[in-house]
Amino acid sequence: MDMKDILQKVASGALRPEEAEALLRKNPADRPYEEMGFAKLDTDRKARSGFAEVVYCQGKSDAFIGQIFKKLYETEGEVFGTRASPHQYELVKKVLPSISYDPISHILKQEKEKDHIGCIAVCTGGTADISVAEEAAQTAEYFGSHVERIYDVGVSGIHRLLSQEERVRKASCVIAVAGMEGALASVIGGLVRNPVIAVPTSVGYGASFHGLSALLTMINSCANGIVTVNIDNGFGAGYVATQINRLAERGKV
């Protein structure tokens, strides 16, 4: 039954308008967004993806950053921003005094109390990777996941990771954060049964080429069950880990 038939039946009374509306496939071009001139806020996103908007602060102009946080806070009752500078923290604090800032992860947030379900393990090769790891961990927590932090378990002292094997295996998903040669993801991949999200970091020097070496390592892993996100993309890892964790938990209740 195409649009013409449906409309004929509405005209003839054979179909009620509400019924017709349901039959007409929802036009993707009609999904809502808010036109702001310089931007088109995707107000359909939460319904579509199950995740509220998050602010990527890097490069946002001083003129707008405060408003954006305020607006999102009014809509959601909470707000979360990544890659924020201390200067941006000062700007946002003026309009949202209760906002907090974590200089390690560069996250700006004002969070509602919530339950944290399931389990995501966030592991790092070294201490320099913690900045990216915290972006991942706090993202997952903001979206309602429980997180276990297992830091500084790089392969140059493999016993540290082996001693944590049980905690790693219990997670529905493991985030492996490592720079330099990024071998951590492969070793974890060989120990667990759930997915490993590998996050290469730009930690290193010389031929690490700002994270390219770790990225290639992770993409080429000889272990199964490993997928990769962009260099330093803790947010992306925390997001996908939450998707997986939600799937793992949804049938349990």
Q: Which one of 72-80, 91-99, 109-117, 180-188 is the stretch in contact with its own copies (CB under 8 A)?
A: 180-188
80 vs 78: CA distance, rounded Å: 7
- Whichever of 97 and 251 has its CB closer to its own copies, that residue is 251
Q: Is residue 248 at the binding interface for its own copies, with CB under 8 A as the rule?
A: yes
CB of 107 to its own copies, least distance (A): 16
Residues contacting its own copies: total by CB under 8 A: 111
Name which of residues 105 to 134 contact its own copies (CB under 8 A). 125-128, 130
Q: Is residue 182 at the binding interface for its own copies, with CB under 8 A as the rule?
A: yes
Which of 49, 51, 81, 76 shows the shortest CA–CA distance to 66?
81
- Whichever of 64 and 98 has its CB closer to its own copies, that residue is 64
CA angle 29/32/33 to nearest 5° reads: 105
CB of 6 to its own copies, least distance (A): 9
Long-range contacts of 46-55 (CB under 8 A, 24+ apart): 50/246, 51/143, 51/239, 51/242, 52/76, 52/78, 52/80, 54/80, 54/81, 54/82, 54/139, 54/142, 54/235, 55/79, 55/80, 55/81, 55/82, 55/108
Name which of residues 47 to 76 contact its own copies (CB under 8 A). 48-51, 58-59
- Whichever of 97 and 118 has its CB closer to its own copies, that residue is 118
CB of 237 to its own copies, least distance (A): 8
Which of 21, 24, 42, 23 shows the shortest CA–CA distance to 33?
42
Q: Is residue 39 at the binding interface for its own copies, with CB under 8 A as the rule?
A: yes
Q: Which one of 71-79, 92-100, 109-117, 151-159 is the stretch in contact with its own copies (CB under 8 A)?
A: 151-159
Residue 87, H or E segment: helix 86-95
